Amino acid sequence: MSDKDALLESNLTSLYSTLTKKEGILFKLYVIAVTIFLWTGYTLMVSYTRQMTPKDELYSSSTVVFSSECAKLLITLFYVYAGSETLQKGNEV
């Protein structure tokens, strides 16, 4: 292996390491933002509907929890799918 190849490999490894760290930080920020969004929506929805809905038409509060969990599941499945496509593209190179 020539010095030029070694330098190129070193630069690619360094670039990959930098990109991986940035993606990790962005993903963590995304998870925090989505969690805040979901729980804020949960709180607002429960408090608003409890005040505005007649007593005989109230829903179970576990319905909101179930809906939030379904939303999180859909988001997770999306990222698993997107991540698997990224891995497949990376293996093709």
Model confidence pLDDT, tens digit, residues 56-66:
877 777 887 78
> Can you count the helices (H) and strands (E) in the chain?
2, 0
Tens of pLDDT, residues 39-58? 888 788 888 877 887 888 77
pTM greater than the 0.85 cutoff? no
Instruction: Scan for tokens 């599941």, then name that residue.
Output: 73
Domain interval for residue 41: 3-92
Burial of 41 (0-12, 13-18, 19+ CB in 10 A): middle
Amino acid at 63: T
pLDDT for 87? 62
**Total tally of structural domains belonging to the chain:** 1
Mention every residue, 6+ apart, whose C-beta is less than 8 A from residue 42: 64, 65, 68
Q: CA torsion sign, 62 to 63 to 64 to 65?
A: positive
Q: In 3D, which of 22, 38, 20 has the Cα closest to residue 76?
A: 38
